[in-house]
Amino acid sequence: MDLLLKGGTIINHDEEAVSDILIKEGKISKIAKNINTGSKTETIDCTNLIITPGLIDMHVHFRDPGLEYKEDIFSGCDAAAAGGVTTCFPMANTKPVNDNAFLTLYMIDKAKNYGKTDIFPVGAITKGMKGEELAEMGEMKQAGALAFSDDGLPIVSSEVMRRGLEYASGIGAFIITHSEDLSLVGDGVINEGEISTITGLKGIPSEAEEIMISRDILLSKLTGAHIHIAHVSTKGSVDLIRRAKDKGLNVTCEAAPHHFTFTDEELLNYDTNYKMNPPLRGKEDVEYIKSALKDGTIDIIATDHAPHHPDEKFVEFDKAPNGIIGLQTLVPLTFKLIDDGIIGLKEFVKLTSYKPAKIAGLTDRGEIKEGKIADITIIDTDKTYLYDDKLNKSKAKNSPLLGASLQAIALYTIKRGRIVHKN
């Protein structure tokens, strides 16, 4: 079935223009002004709307298999589609851990049959994410994995991390690092700083993240392997990554919307919905993350969508699990950066689809161009709405933004030419 998008402003990473888009057989077949196909073609009037490549989220947790009470691949894909995301990279900390081709295939097939979102499961680097022996990355790659990570846990042994990097780069994959010095984190639950002093909540210093990022950058230098650093949250981390890039090292990184939206001041109320890892940082860090998004030091935005059951968050602060759901707040929170004049529309596309596709080597997407697959997000940048339980498609409710009024929404999400969500 053909689909015609009329009169929208098409945003690519390098240009924006008002044009029509004709979609045939799941691909972008033609981009031109005033395409006429006759009345039979399904048409969406995109006047005053923005058309971007389908968003690619390189960091989500779908909890499937094993923890389906938090989320499963169906509800995860529903939330992705509702948030304008057409490609997701679910992390390996499922139960059991996704450290083999069988589970990787299970995840891919389940999402494929559902048809809303392509998923590229991130396989574990080590068996059981124990940080000891390498997992069968080659087989997982053959099954469809593009990247490997023990996300949620750092690989403590530098030797194991080195071998993981070498092996992954040898098979044409890359490593996503969760960089954290656990001994320095200790029992910490929030950022160490003024707010930990005030609240009596134990602090996690920025250096816990920065020390491990330093090591991981050095191991990338040693091995020449591409590392992608997940959820960068501090000023110091950005500086380290900038220096590595200046030296030409094979390093990329991501920031999560919550880390450029909230500061640790939110923790003054001990609200567990603001408990995450890395923790929300200080004002200076948040400003620095924003400027690094602007200047390209931070390559991409990834949500670290981390669903938890409401019961799990309704406990003493120290006992609550880390994480916030983020797929449906990616667009509004990132458009806030545009509203505030920090990034432009082209940077938005670069951060949320073009660069993620480039980093993952996905040549068929990330741009609105003839011949690319028709993964498209149509955004209404002006619409204000209540982000409530009805709108929320995740099984989880762990977002402090639930119940808040937001601006900018993915009006239509198109996956391979099919409308998979309409807001």
- Interface segment toward another protein; rule CB under 8 A; list 51-59, 103-111, 310-318, 366-374: 310-318
**Residue 138 binds another protein, judged by CB under 8 A:** no
252-271 residues near another protein, rule: CB under 8 A: 269-270
**Residue 318 binds another protein, judged by CB under 8 A:** yes
Residue whose CB is less far from another protein, 311 or 389: 311
Supply the angle between the helices 73-82 and 101-114 in degrees, to the nearest 10.
50
Residue whose CB is less far from another protein, 53 or 203: 203
293 SS3 class: helix
Other Cβ atoms less than 10 A from the Cβ of 86: the count is 30
Q: Where does 122-248 have alpha helices with state H? A: 137-143, 158-170, 182-185, 194-199, 206-223, 235-246
Residue whose CB is less far from another protein, 146 or 195: 195
Hunting for tokens 């002093």 — which residue is that?
A: 197
- Report the alpha-carbon distance of residue 196 to residue 182 in Å, rounded: 18
- Report the alpha-carbon distance of residue 185 to residue 289 in Å, rounded: 21
Nearest to 305 by CA among 282, 280, 276, 271: 276
**Residue 317 binds another protein, judged by CB under 8 A:** yes
**Residue 315 binds another protein, judged by CB under 8 A:** yes
Minimal distance in Å, beta carbon 387 to another protein? Answer: 22
151-180 residues near another protein, rule: CB under 8 A: none
**Residue 319 binds another protein, judged by CB under 8 A:** yes
**Residue 311 binds another protein, judged by CB under 8 A:** yes
Number of residues near another protein (by CB under 8 A): 21
Question: Is 146 in contact with 56 (CB distance < 8 Å)?
Answer: no
**Residue 309 binds another protein, judged by CB under 8 A:** no
**Residue 20 binds another protein, judged by CB under 8 A:** no
- Of 151, 216, 264, 304, which is the active-site residue? 304
Question: Is 232 in contact with 255 (CB distance < 8 Å)?
Answer: yes
Active site residue 45: no
Q: x-or-dash pattern for another protein, window 191-220, by CB under 8 A?
A: -xxx-xxxxxxxx-x---------------
| Farthest-apart Cα atoms in the chain, separation | 67
User: Which run of H or of E encompasses 190?
Assistant: strand 190-191
**Residue 274 binds another protein, judged by CB under 8 A:** no
Kindly list the residues in this chain that would bind another protein in the complex (CB under 8 A): 192-194, 196-203, 205, 269-270, 311, 314-319
**What is the set of active-site residues?**
304
